[in-house]
Amino acid sequence: MGTFLVGMVASGNPLDYETETILTLVVLGIFFSLPANLFIYGVNDIFDYETDRLNNKKTSYEKLLMPEEHKKLSVMIGFFLFPFISLLFFTNIYCLLAVAIFLFTGFFYSARPIRAKSKPPLDILFSSIIYVSPAVIGYLATDNYNLDWLPVLAGLIWASAMQTYSAVPDINADRMAGVKTLATQLGERRALLFCLVAFAVSALIGFFYVGYVSLAFGVIYVTLMMLSIFKKDKVFKYYTYFPLINTFFGAVLYFYLFLSLF
C-alpha cells in the first residue's frame, strides 16, 4: 500500500479531486492493503512449497504453508480479489492497464508456466514491477497522465536491489531445490555488490526529485549493504531489519511529498 500512497500524493493533493476520483482512490487504497498482499504472497506460498520446505527461514522466521492449506488459501484470494477487480473497470483505461500489469506480474512471478522468480533476470524485473506499479496506479488513478518515467525507473532499480537482497538468505535453499535467481547466479558477495550499486544509483536519481531525502535513504541502504558484505555471518540478522527500514523510509517519503503540497 505504501507505494500506492506515494504515487497518489506525487500526482497532487488527493483532497482537491472530485468525489468520484476520491472514491476511486479509497477503493484502490483498500485493495492495496489486504487483498493485493494476500494475492501476491498467497500465490507465492502456494507455488513455492517445494522450495520453502528446504528453507530454514520459512520454518524459523516465517511460516511454511502446507499443501492441504493451498485450496483454502486459493478460495480466500479469489474472495478478496474479485469484488475489487469488478470495481476497477470504472477507472480510466491507463489506470486499468497498470492494474492488469500488476496482476499479471504478481501472478506469474510465482506461478507456472512463466514462474519469473526462477528465471533471472525476469525475477528482478517482475518483482520490481510488482512493487512499483502500485505507485503508477496511484498516480494515474487521479486522471493525471503527465507521468515522469525517470523516478519510476529509479523505483524499479531500487526494487531490484530490494528483491535481490531478500533472495540472498535463500541462496542455499534455492540451489538445493534447483531454483535459479539472480542471487544464486551471482553468489552472495556479487549479489550484495549489485544491491549496493543499485541502491546508490536509485538514490542519485531520486535526488533530482526529492533532494537530500533521497540521499539520506541511499546512505542508509548502502551502509546496510556494506555491513552485509563485510559481516557475512550477520546477513540474515540484517535481513530481518529490512522490512522495518523499508516501512520507515516509505512513511518518510509519503509525508515529505504530502507536506510539500501545502
- Domain total of the chain: 1
pTM of the model: 0.89
pLDDT score at 54: 53
Angle between helices 34-47 and 70-87 (to 10 degrees): 140
pLDDT-based confidence at residue 52 (cuts at 50, 70, 90): low
Contact 116, 108 (CB under 8 A): yes
Residues 54-72 as b/e (b if ≥16 CB within 10 A, e otherwise) read: bbeebeeeeeebeeeeeee
Q: How far apart are alpha carbons 152 and 131 in whole angstroms?
A: 11
Domain that holds residue 109: 2-259
pLDDT band at 188 (very low <50, low <70, confident <90, very high): very high
105-161 pLDDT per residue, tens: 999 999 989 999 889 999 999 999 999 999 999 999 999 998 999 999 999 999 999
Decide if 218 contacts 144 (C-beta within 8 A).
no
pLDDT at residue 262, rounded to an integer: 76
Per-chain mean pLDDT for the chain: 87
CA–CA gap between residue 208 and residue 150 (Å, rounded): 10
CA proximity to 176, closest of 188, 168, 184: 184
Residue-level pLDDT at 51 = 62
pLDDT in the model for residue 241: 86
Contact 81, 68 (CB under 8 A): no
Mean pLDDT value across residues 21-28: 90
